[in-house]
Structure 1
Amino acid sequence: MDKPQREITLRFLAEPLDVNFGGKVHGGAVMKWIDLAAYACAAGWSGRYCVTAYAGGIRFVSPIHVGSLVEVKAKVIYTGKSSMHIALEVNACDPKSLNRRLTTHCIVVMVAVDEHGQAVRIPEWIPENEEDSREHQTAQKLMEMRKKIGEEMQIFVE
């Protein structure tokens, strides 16, 4: 069997319909691109249909201008039994220069499901080098932080 696909890069052109009232690409468009890349990455790793379970730590670093070439890089950095933690990085540039700059980054957790929407087991990802190990450890730290944030957020749902 082929090795699962761990990384993917999707490319988009920022269109006039993606622009907010300030003349820059709005966050909702960027978040849609992030979700699409996270799905493609998770499906490539798991070989299954996947759903978004969590999106967090989104950091908008710099604006994206209409006409920019936008690259959304997605990479599996941790796997559970059915979940995948995907690190995403969004870069943009003028398509004529290809001088990329970071615009956004975040983590998305995707879950592989069957035709009934039930979580299914996925292949385990094992770090292969020092960088992989750092990313894996970061994902584990972020899981602990999310648990604490989730506990604090309960005040809003009760």
Structure 2
Amino acid sequence: MTAPQRDITLRFLAEPQDVNFGGKVHGGAVMKWIDLAAYACAAGWSGRYCVTAYAGGIRFVAPIHVGSLVEVVAQVIYTGNSSMHIALQVHACDPKSLNRRKTTHCVVVMVAVDETGHKVAVPQWLPETEEDKKQYESAKKLMELREEIADEMARLDF
């Protein structure tokens, strides 16, 4: 068996059907690309079919224009028993200049499941480099914050 793949890069061309009335790519189109990259990353790590359990902290920091080359980089930054926290960064550029700029970033949690939809174990990822350790700690902090948000939403009956 080959080693799990920790990261993946998917590329898309922003097409006219991806654009809103303001001439920029719809946030929903970007979120779809993020979900596709998160799935490909999680499946590559776990060797299993995976489902999205959480997508959060999505920050749209710059617009994407029609005709742009869009690159979505996904990387495992934390693993639980069956879950994988995937950090994603979206960059866009004019394909003629290749002058990349960050447009979006977020974290998505994917869960590996079997043929019946039950959770299954995934290979553990352990940080090695200093950057890995920072990402790992950030993922743990985000888990704590999500619990606080969930508690507050339950209290407000959302």
The reply on whether 1:83 has 2:83 as its aligned counterpart is: yes
- 1:128 positional shift: 1.2
Instruction: Work out the CA distance in 2 between the residues paired with 1:94 and 1:102.
Output: 13
Instruction: Work out the CA distance in 2 between the residues paired with 1:37 and 1:156.
Output: 32
> TM-score, normalization: structure 2?
0.98
> TM-score, normalization: structure 1?
0.98
- What amino acid is the match of 1:156? D
Alignment of 1:40-55 (within 5 A): 40-55=40-55
Alignment of 1:31-110 (within 5 A): 31-110=31-110
- 1:2 positional shift: 1.7
Instruction: Work out the CA distance in 2 between the residues paired with 1:126 and 1:57.
Output: 23
Q: Which residue of 1 is the match for residue 114 of structure 2?
A: 114
Instruction: Work out the CA distance in 2 between the residues paired with 1:94 and 1:156.
Output: 45
Structure 1 unaligned regions, length at least 5: none
- 1:111 positional shift: 0.1
CA displacement, residues 57-82 of structure 1 (integer Å, 9 cap, x when unaligned): 00000000000000000000000000
Instruction: Work out the CA distance in 2 between the residues paired with 1:104 and 1:156.
Output: 30
- 1:11 positional shift: 0.1
Instruction: Work out the CA distance in 2 between the residues paired with 1:90 and 1:63.
Output: 11
Change (3 A) 1:21 1:156: farther
Structure 2 unaligned regions, length at least 5: none
SS at match of 1:74: strand
Q: Identity, % of aligned pairs?
A: 77
Aligned pairs, number: 157
The reply on whether 1:18 has 2:12 as its aligned counterpart is: no
Q: Which residue of 2 is the match for residue 156 of structure 1?
A: 157
- 1:3 positional shift: 1.2
Instruction: Work out the CA distance in 2 between the residues paired with 1:91 and 1:66.
Output: 14
- 1:86 positional shift: 0.1
SS at match of 1:85: strand
SS at match of 2:115: coil
Instruction: Work out the CA distance in 2 between the residues paired with 1:50 and 1:79.
Output: 13
SS at match of 2:136: helix
Instruction: Work out the CA distance in 2 between the residues paired with 1:120 and 1:153.
Output: 28
- 1:156 positional shift: 3.2
- What amino acid is the match of 2:157? F
CA displacement, residues 76-110 of structure 1 (integer Å, 9 cap, x when unaligned): 00000000000000000000111000000000000
